[in-house]
Amino acid sequence: MNNTHDFRAKPLKWAQVDAIANNFRRDTGFSVTPYFPIVDVVEKIIAYRFEEIDFEVCTDSEMDGAYGLTCPQGGFIRIREDVYSEACAGNGRARFTVAHELGHLLLHADPEKPLARASSTENLKPFQSAESQANRFASSLLVSEELITSNIPEEVAKVFGVSNETAFYRLKNLGRLSS
């Protein structure tokens, strides 16, 4: 795995990442609702709960092609405008991007333990990778294990408003796919 765009993060067990996502879902009042309104949460609840965090929608040129960016010190979450529009329209991949950036904020915004860029030759374990941790957070937040009623990825994707790929990997990670 090439880590040129990854950061070494404080190692976290997947159960820890899942617990942070589940607690956030519960704390925002969506523990019994399969479809998590990620855009509304980031726009409203984050702005209210974390007044020092700016949520910004930026042009492609401002984002230098990135879909989303989060300041490791917790200053901002930025989403590219086309990704934001797609997330507002319910696109599963775009919703995942917004949840992924929220994951960086909740998991990695620690001034005492800043992230360190991984070298291109460094072989990070997934539990040490900021990107893998944010991906796990996003899938756990958007597809709550307690609310899954099907083991068919396409059905899970539809109910939770995620991509088929996200649904597949979430079910696979939970050991809920039949062979």
Contact present, 94 and 83 (Cβ < 8 Å): yes
pTM, two decimal places = 0.90
- Six-digit token pair at 122? 């460094």
- Six-digit token pair at 37? 């309104």
The candidate with the shortest Cα–Cα distance to 86, out of 57, 46, 61, is: 57
What pLDDT shows up at residue 2? 41
Q: What is the mean pLDDT of the chain?
A: 88
Contact present, 118 and 129 (Cβ < 8 Å): yes
User: Does 4 have pLDDT greater than 60?
Assistant: no
Amino acid at 61: S
Beta strands in the chain (DSSP E): 7-8, 54-58, 68-70, 76-80, 116-117
Q: How far is the C-alpha of 17 from the C-alpha of 167, rounded, in Å?
A: 17
Q: How far is the C-alpha of 17 from the C-alpha of 132, rounded, in Å?
A: 10
Q: How far is the C-alpha of 104 from the C-alpha of 137, rounded, in Å?
A: 9
What percent of the chain stands above pLDDT 70? Answer: 88
Which pLDDT tens digit goes with each residue over 38-63? 999 999 877 777 778 889 999 999 99
Q: What SS3 state is found at 140? A: helix
Is residue 121 very low, low, confident or very high in pLDDT (cuts 50, 70, 90)? low
